[in-house]
Amino acid sequence: MIVEDNAPLRKLMVDILRFEGYAVSEAFDAPSMRQCMYAGRPERNADAFFDLIITDIQMPGENGIASLATLRSAGCRIPAVIVTAFPELATRERANELQATLLPKPFSLAEFRAVAATILRFGRA
């Protein structure tokens, strides 16, 4: 699941993962992410359907950290990557509390591929 409000960047990340052979869902904000994750799942357990969440922090409305915190408080254990252009210490600490990997922008395509592959293979980068 890629959650990114910047459409060209979201498309690039989706294309990279699809090229690597992964099935990818995408959303442009937190509400559309939840709608995609829980659509048709009355038990609201997305863990069985998604292997990774990659979310930007800065999005309109609810930010990526808040949306991940909401998921975690509901019991979601899906590994996550938080993408940010501002990897300050407080952000790093909050990502760690949420058991998420922080990926600072700008990142190379190789970095993005490596982080995603590592998490999908081992559960955390």
Sheet holding 2-3, edge to edge: 26-27, 2-3, 53-56, 80-84, 100-104
Domains of the chain and any CATH numbers:
2-122 (3.40.50.2300)
Indicate the pTM of the whole model.
Answer: 0.91
For the purposes of burial, counting CB atoms within 10 Å of the CB of 9, is it exposed (0-12), middle (13-18) or buried (19 or more)?
Answer: middle
pLDDT of residue 32: 94
Query: Which ranges of the chain have pLDDT less than 50?
Result: none
pLDDT of residue 37: 86
pLDDT of residue 44: 62
C-alpha span between 65 and 108 (Å, rounded): 22
